[in-house]
Structure 1
Amino acid sequence: MKKSYLLFTLIILLISVTACSNKKTTDDTYGEGNEEKSTFTVGFDQDFPPMGFVGDDGEFTGFDLDLAAEVAKRLDFELVLQPIAWDAKDMELKSGNIDCIWNGFTITGREDNYTWTDAYMSNKQVFVVKEDSDIKTFADLAGKSIVAQADSSAEAALSERQDLVDTFGDYIKAADYNMALMDLQSGAVDAVAMDYIVAGYHIEKKKADFVILDESLASEGYGVGFLLGNEELRDKVQTTLEEMADDGTLEKISTTWFGKDITTIKK
């Protein structure tokens, strides 16, 4: 009888310990109430310098990733950097694999698809050509080979300019901008439709022999995109970005990457 009682007690204790060890805290997913530090998983395109990319040391780096790291630090979150295929970003967000998309993510045209922070940077979609190219205006793109990243803002901008696209000799979709710019450098294509900020980085920082056409396809703003309805996390990030603008941190990070403050959240 004693043995049976002891065995029964041990079983109950084992079940209790297992239940406690497996229990997950569900109150306030993003911080308060959790004993362990909450994660903040940022989805980004790892081939999109200077916003997010793989540095020479093999580590993830970039302007947006520096912003995300500072936000996570101030909110006492554990930052998780999650590279994603850009055309799979919606699936990654809806499945919960990432908490936000933060990587030169254009608000314009997507206003109703995500819950957004305010724009923290202005941008525009442009064409990039080689320095010695005879392409100077949109009219000169007629009959030429043009490339844009699949599911990018440049592709979206071009979808609104079918009259222009119809003049192209060939219109190609690339997996990422690094591949597109390598094709431009080699002469495989004549022009790349892409973000002005990214193009400027390649020209200024990497000394690429490219130029940006004066005409632009569209103006836009970069923001941090969250799953539609996730206002709680968006508000925390927005408030923190405003604090970083107030104390000069946004300006400092921007100057590190671009030589000046080009952010649009002002104190």
Structure 2
Amino acid sequence: MRKFLLLCACILLSVSAAVTAFAGDGSWDRVKKEGKLGIGLDDSFPPMGYRQADGKLVGFDIDAAEEVGKRLGIKIEWQPTAWAGVIHSLNAGKFDCIWNGMTITEERAKEVAFTKPYIMDGQIAIVNFKDKRFKGLKDLKNYKAGTQKGSSGLEAVKKLGSAPTELKEYEDYPKALLDLEAGRIEVVVVDNVTGRDMIAKRPGKFRILPGMISKEPFGVAFRKNDKDLREKVQQTLDKMVKDGTMTKISRKWFAEDITNPKKF
């Protein structure tokens, strides 16, 4: 009898372990039950996510996330937060994910779980539209450059074949572009999506040198334990890439498709 009871106990433990293994972590079930997905972002990052003059939140990430919410049958709840502490806020449970043009890095991947890249961003070089000296990145010689203080542009400049004779650091990119237009510098190193957005708003003033100095993939960040939720969003994004929805959103904001994984 003891052996029989012991055998039954072992079987029950095995079944319980198997059920637990396939039960998932409950993160998607929680969001589905609540009917909303909380997303943290810096709402001043055009064209990924920013406020219009009337206060409406718009941008590439806004359109993409809202479409995911529509397909999953849940509401998207945007939660603006200070970018410096956005990962801490995520892990503290203030929202469910970060969807805001966040570059996937090894350092960040230690703290959060990223989706696959949904955009391949990178650092580019912008010159004055009328400046004919530079046709490509290899032509950058004896030039003064500028970029934003604390940005990835500082590291990108080091990857150029020829170092600038002078590198100015600005509080923001618009100030760098003002100096570029005035001829005080000759090149601005900036991330692709931001640079293209600024150029589009001032046609005929600047142009982008062909090619990228570096590549920086964007991903949606989740808490490490929320594997079910991350996978659900990933599956939806994959479908949006396959059916052309991501291409459509990309062309709306960038006038080209920068969401095709085959081109990453």
TM-score (norm. length: structure 1): 0.70
The match for 1:210 is 206
Q: Within 5 Å, which residues of 2 pair with 1:68-107?
A: 68-107=65-104
Q: Within 5 Å, which residues of 2 pair with 1:8-157?
A: 28-32=26-30, 36-43=34-41, 45-107=42-104, 110=107, 112-113=109-110, 114-133=112-131, 136=134, 137-141=139-143, 144-148=144-148, 150=150, 152-157=151-156
**Structure 1's 183 and 76: CA in aligned 2 closer, same or farther, altered over 3 A?**
farther
**Structure 1's 231 and 187: CA in aligned 2 closer, same or farther, altered over 3 A?**
farther
Q: Distance in 1 between matches of 2:69 and 2:154?
A: 31
Query: Aligned-pair distance for 1:240?
Result: 0.9
Deviation track 1:2-56 (CA, whole Å, cap 9, x = no partner) reads: xxxxxxxxxxxxxxxxxxxxxxxxx94544587542332232x333322112224
**Structure 1's 104 and 184: CA in aligned 2 closer, same or farther, altered over 3 A?**
farther
1:258 aligns with 2:248: no
Query: Aligned-pair distance for 1:239?
Result: 0.8
**Structure 1's 232 and 59: CA in aligned 2 closer, same or farther, altered over 3 A?**
same
Q: Secondary structure at the match of 2:109?
A: coil
Query: Aligned-pair distance for 1:221?
Result: 2.2
Query: Aligned-pair distance for 1:220?
Result: 3.0
1:31–1:77 contact (8 Å) kept in structure 2: no
Q: Distance in 2 between matches of 1:248 and 1:139?
A: 41
Deviation track 1:82-112 (CA, whole Å, cap 9, x = no partner) reads: 3344333333333333432322222255573
Percent sequence identity is: 35
Structure 1: state its 5+ residue gaps.
1-26
Q: Secondary structure at the match of 1:50?
A: coil
Size of the aligned set, in residue pairs, is 233
Q: Within 5 Å, which residues of 2 pair with 1:231-242?
A: 231-242=227-238
Q: Secondary structure at the match of 2:215?
A: strand
Q: Secondary structure at the match of 2:55?
A: coil
TM-score (norm. length: structure 2): 0.71
The match for 2:194 is 198
**Structure 1's 36 and 48: CA in aligned 2 closer, same or farther, altered over 3 A?**
closer
Q: Secondary structure at the match of 2:213?
A: strand
Query: Aligned-pair distance for 1:255?
Result: 2.8
Q: Secondary structure at the match of 2:101?
A: coil
Deviation track 1:44-82 (CA, whole Å, cap 9, x = no partner) reads: x33332211222432111011110111122223331223
Q: Within 5 Å, which residues of 2 pair with 1:173-188?
A: 173-174=170-171, 176-182=172-178, 184-185=180-181
Q: Distance in 2 between matches of 1:162 and 1:92?
A: 36
Q: Distance in 1 between matches of 2:224 and 2:215?
A: 23
Q: Distance in 2 between matches of 1:36 and 1:127?
A: 45
Greater share of helix residues, 1 or 2? Answer: 2
Cα RMSD after superposing both structures: 3.3
Q: Distance in 2 between matches of 1:168 and 1:82?
A: 43
1:50–1:257 contact (8 Å) kept in structure 2: yes
